[in-house]
Amino acid sequence: MIVTPRLRLRALALRDMALFRALYCDPGTMRHIGKPLSRAVAVASLRATVAATRKPAGLRFFVIAECQSRRGVGLCSLRPAAWDKRGIELGIMLVHTARRHGYAREAFAALINYAFRALPIDTIWVQYRRANAGMARLCDILGFEGNFLPRSGTSVRRCVRIRRDRNGAVFSNQPTRGITMSNIIGFLEQAGSNAAMRHASREALLRTMQDKEIENVLRQPHRSLLDDLTGARETMYCKNTAIAPPKQKAPAKKKPAKKTPAKKPAKKAPAKRKR
Amino acid sequence: MKSIRGHTQAGSLACIGIGITLGSHLTPLARSHIEQADVVFLAASDGIVEKWIESLHTDVRSLQPFYAANKSRNKTYREMVNAILAQVRAGQKVCAAFYGHPGVFAWAPHEAIRIARKEGYAAHMEPGISAEDCLYADLGIDPGTFGCQHYEAGQLLFYKRRIDPSAYLVLWQVGALGDQGRGAAHSATHLAYRKILIERLARDYPRTHKITIYRAATLPIHAPRIERIALRRLADADIEGADTLVIPPARKLEPDIRALGRLARLEQASA
């Protein structure tokens, strides 16, 4: 068992079916992973996963539970990296209600420490879909680096790694922040959705930007740097309706007048004889 | 076989609004539509907003590539509708996300829903926070106080409209004046159209009347554009595609004496 200030990471068991289903059958949770499982498939998948974890030096699957409530709030895994003999791949899923509490960062940091301490590895890998801004942000904060080609899946995935310190020291959990798309978008989303930030003074907002080291990017008068970093499209068309002037009717052409047969001169009535 | 709601086909379409400001206006229901869709089509007003929505779903397809300079807008919108409906017809659960409100100054969502329903698919629209909503909040205008008229700027020039100068007048798409539905107009054309617009407005407002150029904030770190100028300065003003003109009332509300008299008699009769 791995224990952090707020979480306990324990081995996955068959009794965790409810949590397993809550994660793998939920479209929202699965949106960056794959198609949600049906309830029946989830049962079979849990059995297969638990069986796989019993093999030595194989997959390790943990339930992330809150220390206080002992409630399972997510799953995380360590699996041997197929492309790296001295590497392991890390994964994590949290139920919707447990997100935005810093649990992912706490669990990930503990797992990285555990892996470097207990396993014969030099590198920890994470693969995620590029659209998964939350995971990108987490990896940036924890110091994962690189932008390697995906080891599996499609090009929409990004592969990052963290390596054991050459001096033998274990992972320090000190954030190494770089200016990336994920922390800019993350900051903007937070600034837009958090009432305190949305209406904060300009100075307070600037301080937050400075903390996140994105001030220089967001304060650029021209957005080229911001667009470059986020990979955003520069030219955006906004108009979604086109109102054209009415078609003016062309003046009607004069039709040639039909030739009407000349009227026969009316026969003059014979003049009445005056009496 | 018909479903319980009477839809005969498997695919579905939800046209949703993502609002104007990144992170602030996306409703829980709209977010849920994005998350639960098989495919998301997106017409955003800002590249960063596009990136943000891409972070919410793995298959977000931008509608921006359908636009092109000097391409007929009507053709662009028809292509958008076809792309959206192709996925609906393929049995997918489609979410088409448009900035602001999907039903305001947006042809493609209405058309896509109309065709989808006609073909037996479930299709509906979810409202979003539009630029109009932001305008009321940022400028402190209550449309109920004096009344409020909304016109597309070009339409005001093309047709004979009666402006009531005792109510607010809001003119949309002023920055696109003169593009004739082709997406791009020469700056000289813009200027010429704007001068005609000033002349049109001068029929109902004094040329010294103060008007407001307004643009809602797309990013939460930005402030809205609120710039007040005299009507006669409109031709020289720096106006972009997303800018809107707000013209406050120039006359006091005029009581309708005859109607008031009738109402008073009605009150007396019922007393």
pLDDT class of A178 with cuts at 50, 70, 90:
very low
Question: Residue B223 is part of a domain; what is its CATH number?
Answer: 3.30.950.10
> Which of chain A's residues have a Cβ under 8 Å away from the Cβ of B178?
none
pLDDT band at A197; cut points 50, 70, 90:
confident
Task: Tell whether A193 is within 8 A of chain B (Cβ).
Answer: yes
Q: Judge if B27 and B110 occupy the same domain.
A: yes
Chain B: give the shortest CA distance to residue A27, in Å. Answer: 6
Kindly indicate the confidence band of residue A169, based on its pLDDT and cuts at 50, 70 and 90.
very low
- The domain containing residue B234 runs over which residues? 132-247
Chain length of chain B: 271
User: Which of A56-60, B135-139, B239-243, B267-271 is predicted most confidently?
Assistant: B135-139
pLDDT band for position A187 (cuts 50, 70, 90): confident
Beta carbon pairs, A and B, within 8 Å? 128
Whether A131 and B54 lie within 8 Å, measured CB to CB? yes
Q: Helix and strand tally (H, E) in chain B?
A: 9, 10
Residue B99 annotated to the active site: yes
Domain with residue B68: its CATH number is 3.40.1010.10
Q: Is residue B182 part of a domain?
A: yes
Going by pLDDT thresholds of 50, 70 and 90, the confidence category of residue A174 is: very low
pLDDT exceeds cutoff 60 at B74: yes
Q: How many domains does chain B have?
A: 2
CB B79 within 8 A of CB B113: no
Using left for φ > 0, alpha for ψ between -120 and 50, and beta otherwise, residue A34 falls in: left
Establish whether B77 is a catalytic residue. Answer: yes
pLDDT tens digit sequence for A212-239: 777 766 766 656 667 666 667 767 777 7
pLDDT over threshold 80, residue A95 = yes
Q: Which residues of A198-231 are buried (b: 16+ CB within 10 A; e: fewer)?
A: bebeeeebeebbeebebbebbeeeebeebbebbe
**What per-residue confidence (pLDDT) applies to A141?**
77
**DSSP secondary structure of B49-66:** HHHHHHTT-S-EEESGGG
Do B53 and B138 belong together in one domain? no
Backbone angles phi, psi at B204, to 5 degrees: -115, -15
Calculate the average pLDDT of chain A: 77
Q: What are the residue ranges spanned by the domains of chain A?
A: 2-176, 181-235
Query: What one-character-per-residue DSSP string does B136-186 give?
Result: HHHHT--HHHH-EEEEEHHHHHHS-----TTSEEEEE-GGGTT-TTSS---
Please tell me whether residues B21 and B71 are part of one structural domain: yes
Minimal Cβ distance to A230: which of B25, B48, B159: B48
pLDDT at B8: 74
Q: Which has more pLDDT, A201 or B29?
A: B29
Within-domain flag for B142: yes
Residues B53 and B140 in one domain: no
Cα–Cα distance measured from residue A135 to residue A142, given in angstroms and rounded to the nearest whole number: 11
Mean residue pLDDT of chain B comes to 92
pLDDT of residue A175: 40
Are B46 and A232 within 8 A, CB to CB? Answer: yes
Instruction: Test B52 with A189 for CB contact under 8 angstroms.
Output: yes
- Are residues B122 and B140 both part of a single domain? no
Q: Is A233 on the interface with B (CB under 8 A)?
A: yes
Residue A239 sits at the vertex; the CA angle it makes with B189 and B139, to the nearest 5 degrees, is 95
Shared domain for B153 and B107, answered yes or no, is no
Of the two residues A145 and B155, the one the predictor is more confident about is B155
pLDDT the model gives residue A237: 78
Q: Tell whether B77 is within 8 A of chain A (Cβ).
A: yes
* DSSP secondary structure letter of residue A36: P
- C-alpha distances in angstroms, B31 versus A15, A96, A138, B83, B220? 32, 13, 21, 22, 18
Q: Is the pLDDT of residue A244 over 60?
A: yes
CA-to-CA distance for B132 and A239, rounded, in angstroms?
Answer: 15
Structure-block tokens of residue B68: 């092109």
Q: How confident is the model at residue A122 (pLDDT cuts 50, 70, 90)?
A: confident
Could you say which residues from 111 to 150 on chain B have a Cβ atom under 8 Å away from some Cβ of chain A?
none
B193 domain residue, yes or no: yes
Between A32, A188, A198, which is nearest B58 by CB? Answer: A32
Confidence category of residue A201, pLDDT binned at 50, 70, 90: confident
The yes-or-no verdict on residue A173 having pLDDT over 50 is: no
Nearest-neighbour CA in chain B from A189: distance (Å): 4
Whether residue B185 is predicted with pLDDT greater than 60 in this model: the reply is no
Residue B83 has pLDDT above 50, yes or no: yes
Whether the Cβ atoms of residue B137 and residue B106 lie closer than 8 Å to each other: no
What is the rounded average pLDDT of the residues B137-146? 97
Residue B106 lies in a domain: yes
Same domain, B72 and B117: yes
Nearest CA distance, B203 vs chain A (angstrom): 21
pLDDT tops 90 at residue A180: no
Residue of A222, A218, A221 whose CA lies nearest to A179 = A218
pLDDT at residue number A270: 54
Question: Is B243 found in the same domain as B160?
Answer: yes
* Domain-embedded: residue B1: no
Residue A257 has a pLDDT of 59
Active site residue B151: no
Give B7's contacts (C-beta < 8 A, 6+ positions apart).
B120, B121, B122
How far apart are alpha carbons B230 and B211 in whole angstroms?
6
How much is the pLDDT for B84?
97
DSSP state of B20: S
Same domain? For B37 and B125 the reply is yes
Out of A9-18, B103-112, B130-139, pick the least confident: A9-18
Q: Does domain A2-176 have CATH number 3.30.360.10?
A: no
Yes or no, beta carbons of A236 and B64 under 8 Å apart: yes
Mutual orientation of helices A181-193 and A202-211 as an angle, nearest 10°? 150
Tokens of A112: 């990285």
In-domain check, residue B49? yes
